[in-house]
Amino acid sequence: MGRDVTQALVEYAAPLPGMQVLDLASGTGEPAITLAKRVGPEGHVTALDLSEDLLEVAAARARQRGLTNFSTQQADAHALPFPDNFFGLVTSRFGVMFFQDGVKALRDVLRVLKPGARACFAAWGPFSQPFWSSMMGVVHKYAGGRATDPDHDPCRYAEPGSLSNMMRKAGFQQIHEETRNLPWTWPGTAEEVWELTRQMATPFQAMINRVPIEKWDEVNNEILQTISQYAHEDTIQFGAVVIFASGTKV
């Protein structure tokens, strides 16, 4: 589903051949793998994540693609294990929202960037968009209360200017932010995308646990009906509202 967002972030970041790039919260390897293809053999991409298991998947995917300019690093974005002024570009796709202390993490990003280099982020737009509202929005109707913990909210920076403001507080300059509508398509059935989303719904787990057991048949039926509104041939075409933001180390 994330292919179009990955490509859009890579184009937004505009990596150059030979660059040293750090990709934060890489998970299973994107956009780090796509970036590695762009910077070429003279460049290098480091994929960083808290999860060693996900990074093992990322490394395997990079090997399958014959990439020799790709490495992984298990670490916390709040304490990056790299020297000052080292990277020519830092990226993150759907990771910046989960930094517990956004200013602290972004200050460390600023530290490891070279002067004149950029950090480029993609973050989710509002919870009201189809991908979230068709599934977690329905669950929320039955669960009540908060949908997520504020520190683990995927839509934390949905308010225009909020991510830019965080970057400004951290010391970035020449900040740019824009909102884009991009394809977000599941190549399968409503049942499949709901099962996948539920498996990956860690930020929403407390809300999910509040739904009474006897209500789950009703919840599942309503979710599948809601998802079906976005079905087209053999795909589910949700679309995605995504915030892109960048800043420069001066």
pLDDT single digits (tens) 58-75: 999 999 999 999 999 999
What is the CATH number that goes with domain 3-248?
3.40.50.150
pLDDT at 150 over 90: no
In the chain, where the domains are located = 3-248
Distance from C-alpha of 141 to C-alpha of 182, rounded to nearest angstrom: 27
Average pLDDT over residues 38-42: 97
pLDDT at 151 over 90: no
With residue 244 as reference, give the H or E element that holds it: strand 240-248
- Bridge partners, residue 176, by sequence: 246
Question: Which residues, in sequence order, are CB contacts of 2 under 8 Å at separation 6+?
Answer: 30, 93, 94, 184
Instruction: Name the nearest CA neighbour of 169 among 79, 114, 104.
Output: 104
- Mean pLDDT over all residues of the chain? 97
Q: pLDDT tens digit string along 95-113?
A: 999 999 999 999 999 999 9
Q: pLDDT tens digit string along 7-23?
A: 999 999 999 999 999 99
Residue 80 CB neighbour total at 10 angstroms: 21
Q: Write down the pLDDT at residue 218.
A: 98
Q: pLDDT tens digit string along 209-237?
A: 999 999 999 999 999 999 999 999 999 99
Q: Write down the pLDDT at residue 154.
A: 96
End-to-end Cα distance, the chain: 35
User: Would you place residue 168 in the very low, low, confident or very high pLDDT band (cuts 50, 70, 90)?
Assistant: very high
Q: Write down the pLDDT at residue 175.
A: 98
